Amino acid sequence: MTTTQTIERCRSCDGQVVFVPSATTGKPMILDAKPRKGVVVTIAPTEHGLGPLASRATVRGETLPAPSASVVDVYTDHHATCPDAASWKGKHR
* Ranges of each domain in the chain: 8-52+62-88
How far, in Å, CA of 65 to CA of 35, rounded?
30
| Residue 17 or 41, more confident | 17
pLDDT at 57 over 60: no
Q: What is the pLDDT of residues 20-39, one digit of tens each?
A: 999 999 999 999 999 999 99
At 60 the pLDDT is: 66
At 56 the pLDDT is: 55
Phi, psi of 2 (to 5 degrees): -85, -25
